[in-house]
Structure 1
């Protein structure tokens, strides 16, 4: 079954993509055979590659790749911890300031009307 976008010749990757995107479309017998052959060749290359010894350069590359990911994750976790700690310190500072104002107000012997004035707390912050 040819698609309107097919040009002359068989474009297997585009056809396979279309088949995967459209479950009702089925590959031709020739395409199925080519896929089976490609899979067999890929498995042979994999087995051949797996039987070879890993060079020192490849071992170092794998080690660096694994540890780079761990360093990135650790850096992200550390950054989150720093931001959270800074936020908690700021919040704690605001609470301490509020408690200091409350303590200053309660320690003074002032009439209730003076506490209700709009500019009363301005003098306490200085």
Structure 2
């Protein structure tokens, strides 16, 4: 039976994947036989392909795919490091500013009542 989400030409693989992923439905003996046959055929094609010499174009293509992927991952890691560094610099700047305010407050001889005034922090920034 074809499922509504199956695309054109994807019926059999999607149907088999759905059966195998469903813990309550076991594949029928006919389906198991077809799976074993398909696996044996895939292994035969793989071994045949592995025995062939790889062309220079395929070697270059494989190399480019691997290194392009590494370049993408490296760029993502570098971007993450830059964002993290900028965040740390911002946090450090905010901490330094609060430390400066604390040092200013502690270095002056002010009565405790003046610290509780509503506009006290404005006077420190001026």
User: What TM-score do the two structures reach when normalised by structure 1?
Assistant: 0.71
- Partners in 1 of 2:116 and 2:17 — Cα distance? 75
Could you tell me which residue of structure 2 aligns to residue 91 of structure 1? 91
Describe how 1:1-126 pairs up with structure 2 within 5 A. 5=1, 13=12, 16-17=16-17, 19-20=19-20, 21=22, 22-23=25-26, 25-28=27-30, 32=33, 35=35, 37-126=37-126
Identify which range, 43-52 or 70-79, moves more after superposition: 43-52
Asked which structure has the greater CA Rg, the reply is 1
Tell me if the contact between 1:101 and 1:124 (Cα under 8 Å) persists in the aligned partners. yes
Offset from partner CA, 1:22-62 (integer Å, 9 cap, x none): 20x41339x82x55554444333322221221111111111
CA distance in 1, matches of 2:36, 2:125: 80
TM-score calculated relative to the size of structure 2? 0.71
Native 8 Å contact 1:19 1:26 kept in 2? no
Where structure 1 has 5 or more consecutive residues not aligned to the other structure, the ranges are 7-11
Pick 1 or 2: higher relative contact order, CA cutoff 8 A, min separation 6: 1
Number of equivalenced pairs: 114
Gaps of 5+ in 2: 3-10
Q: Distance in 2 between matches of 1:83 and 1:17?
A: 41
